[in-house]
Structure 1
Amino acid sequence: MPLLATAIGLAPAVTAHATESTAIGRTGTIGPDQSVTVDARDGTTLHGSLRLPENPDRPGPAALLIPGSGPTDRDGNQPGLEANTLLSVADTLSGSGVATLRYDKFGSGETGADPDLDPASLEFDLFVEHAADALGFLADQPGVDPDRLMVVGHSEGGLIALVLANGQEETAPSVSSLALLAPASLPYLTTIQLQLREQIPEWPGRGLIPESRVEPLLDALDDTVEAIRETGEIPPWMPAEFYYLGIFHPSSLRFLVTADHHDPRELAGEVPAEVPVLLACAGSDIQVPCSMVDEVRSALDDRPAGTLRYTRLPQVNHVLKEVGSNGSDGSEYGDPLPFSRRLRAELSVFSLRHLWLG
Structure 2
Amino acid sequence: MRLSLLVFLLIFNFIGFSQEGNPLETDIVINEHIEGSLLLPVGGQSDYLAIIIAGSGPTDRNGNQNFLKSNNLKKLAQSLAQENIASFRYDKRIVKQIRKGNVDKNIMFDDFVTDASSVINYFSEKNQFKSIYVIGHSQGSLVGMMSISDEVSGFISLAGAGQSIDVVITEQIQKMAPGLTEDAKKTFEILKKGETTTDYPPALASVFNIDTQPFISNWMQYQPKEIISKVDIPILIVNGTKDLQVSVEEANQLKEANPKAQLVIIENMNHVLFIIEGDDLENSKSYNESFRPISTDLVEAISSFIKH
TM-score range relative to shorter protein: 0.7 to 0.9
Partner in structure 1 of residue 231 of structure 2: 271
Aligned counterparts of 1:277 and 1:22: Cα–Cα separation in 2: 35
Pick from 199, 204, 219 the counterpart of residue 182 of structure 2: 219
- The 1-side partners of 2:286 and 2:185 are apart by 31
1:234 corresponds in structure 2 to 196
**Do the aligned partners of 2:244 and 2:271 also contact (CA within 8 Å) in 1?**
yes
For the Cα contact (< 8 Å) 2:62–2:72, is it kept in 1?
A: yes
How far is the alpha carbon of 1:255 from its aligned partner? 0.8
TM-superposed deviation, 1:314: 0.6
Task: Show the counterpart of 1:105.
Answer: 92
Name structure 2 gaps, 5 residues minimum.
Answer: 1-14
Q: Aligned in 2, Cα 1:300/1:142: closer, same or farther, shift over 3 Å?
A: closer
2:284 to 315, 326, 330: 330
Alpha-carbon distance in structure 1 between the residues aligned to 2:301 and 2:267: 13
* Aligned residues between the structures: 292
Matched, 1:252 2:229: no
Matched-pair contact (CA < 8 Å) for 2:244–2:270: yes
Contact 1:315-1:325 within 8 A present in 2 as well:
no
Kept in 1, the 8 Å contact 2:97–2:104? The answer is no
The superposition leaves residues 82-139 of structure 1 with CA deviations (integer Å, 9 ceiling, x where unpaired) of 212211221222123222111011122x5647645441x2210101111111112222
Q: Does residue 130 of structure 1 match 2:140?
A: no
Name the SS for the 1:186 alignment partner. Answer: coil
Q: How does 1:3-14 map to 2 (within 5 A)?
A: none
Indicate how the Cα distance of structure 1 residues 254 and 236 shifts in structure 2: closer, same or farther if over 3 A, else same.
closer
Aligned to 2:11: none
Give 1:51's aligned residue: 39
In structure 2, relative to structure 1, the CA distance for the partners of 1:239 and 1:20 (3 Å cut) is same
1:271 deviates by 0.8
Aligned-pair Cα RMSD in Å: 2.6
Answer yes or no: is 1:35 the counterpart of 2:20.
Answer: no
Amino acid at match of 1:287: Q
Tell me which of 251, 262, 280 is aligned to 1:309.
262
2:97 and 2:103 in contact (8 A); partners too: no
- Greater helix share, structure number: 2
Q: 1:54 to 1:118 in 2, by over 3 A?
A: closer
Aligned partner of 1:289 in structure 2 is 247
Amino acid at match of 1:192: I
User: How far apart are 1:321 and its partner, in Å?
Assistant: 0.3
CA contact (8 A) 2:53 2:137 kept: yes
Please tell me whether residue 74 in structure 1 is matched to residue 74 in structure 2: no
Using the size of structure 2 for normalisation, the TM-score is 0.85
For residue 128 of structure 2, the aligned residue among 139, 143, 148 is: 143
Question: What is aligned with 2:257?
Answer: 299
Number of the residue aligned with 2:303 = 348
Work out whether residues 29 and 36 of structure 2, in 8 Å CA contact, stay in contact via their aligned partners in 1: yes
> Which residue matches 2:52?
65
Can you list the C-alpha shifts for 1:182-228, whole angstroms capped at 9, x where unaligned? Answer: 11321011111111222225xxxxxxxxxxxxx3x333222222222
Contact 2:46 2:86 in 1 (8 A): no
How far apart are 1:30 and its partner, in Å? 8.2
The normalised TM-score by structure 1 is 0.74
Alpha-carbon contact 1:164-1:175 (below 8 Å) kept: no
Distance in 2 between the 1:311 and 1:76 partners? 22
| Compared CA separation, residues 270 and 232, structure 1 to 2 (3 A) | same
